[in-house]
Amino acid sequence: MEKEKRPTSSMPAKISVNFCRVILGLVFMFSGVVKAIDPVGTQIKFADYMSAFGLGGLFSDNTLLIFACLLAGFELLLGIYMTMGAYIRGTSFLIALFMLAVTPFTLYLALKNPVDDCGCFGDVIILTNWQTFWKNVFLLALALYVFIRRRLSVSFVVEEIQWVLTLVSAIIIVKFLVGNINHLPLLDFKPYKTGTDLRQAVLNGQNPEMADFFIMDGNLDDVTKDILGYEGYTFLLVSPYLESANERNIDLINDIYDYCVKYGYRMYCLTSSGSGVIREWSDNTGAEYSFLHGDDIPLQTMVRANPGLVLLHNGVIVNKWSHLNIPKESDLEGPLESVETGMFPAFDPLKTVQGVALLFLMPLLLLGLISLLKSKIQ
């Protein structure tokens, strides 16, 4: 295929095109990263859309999770290509086409308001539907401008190693997605993050995002105050839907219950499932802990795993685990006051953000440097 000729043009025009290209690429990268950090959250947002349009139940949760991962990977890869100026003809066309498709859709969302927010930036930045629409109008303008004047684009990676960019990016994206699916999201932007005082947030009504959180016992009596107001340690095995809960580490979960009995801690399973499903779960897993009921939406928000384990101390969320990271017997050799499991995890959000940024940007910078050296040699 014959390459497109690059026209002679003024420096301001070239600068403006490449500035718009980089901004567009970084926005797509950011959007893809926040979706990849919490792919289960994106899956839940897809389910909200399906329900809003009368299509609830059309796709299984696993299928929606695949869609969520594909969207995150698509945005990330296009963002990387656009930022680096790689495959600019195809990339600029796909981004322009994508924006042409989603902008009218977000106008409909703004006019009809079937969902509260589009979820385009996950839980990191919550936009109203009108804010989302105008954001997309801006991005569409950038995308069309870059596509029309793509021949002025400057690539940061030489054509001979663009395949390396694709390979490296794909590996990083897949590993990042799998890590955040198998474990809890690397960054928690939800209201139930570690360190949250549920007494203040729920019982005292300080956080309106938690207004739908409640806990009921088998008699449908509200026991929220009793559970959150308890002075001491409480393990909550959180499973929005026991019928689809993963039983892979059920022995470790039962060991947690035995540990609680030994040291006098509380342990409950908190679920939205009915009594029949609970009975079946108990028969299949040998569960001896008590079951409590809550709404599925806040339970999905509390921990992005099914099941997930939450440790409370005096109503404060001390730690959370996916079913794949349940504490083992070796982690529980003593009371919670004296073992790492019972302590707040050492976590620095700023360092985590820096780590995520380096994970995606360092390979791009290295490939850009290689391209620069290669062009100098030639």
Query: Is the pLDDT reported for residue 59 higher than 60?
Result: yes
In angstroms, the first-to-last Cα distance of the chain is 23
Residue with tokens 């106008």: 107
* Domains of the chain, earliest start first: 11-186+354-377 (no CATH), 198-345 (3.40.30.10)
| pTM (predicted TM-score) | 0.84
Query: Is the pLDDT reported for residue 234 higher than 90?
Result: yes
Query: Is the pLDDT reported for residue 124 higher than 90?
Result: no
Report pLDDT digits (tens) over 320-332.
999 988 999 888 8
Residue 21's pLDDT band, with cuts at 50, 70 and 90, is very high
* DSSP 8-state symbol, 248: T
pLDDT mean across residues, the chain: 87
Q: Which amino acid is at 128?
A: T
Query: Is the pLDDT reported for residue 2 higher than 50?
Result: no
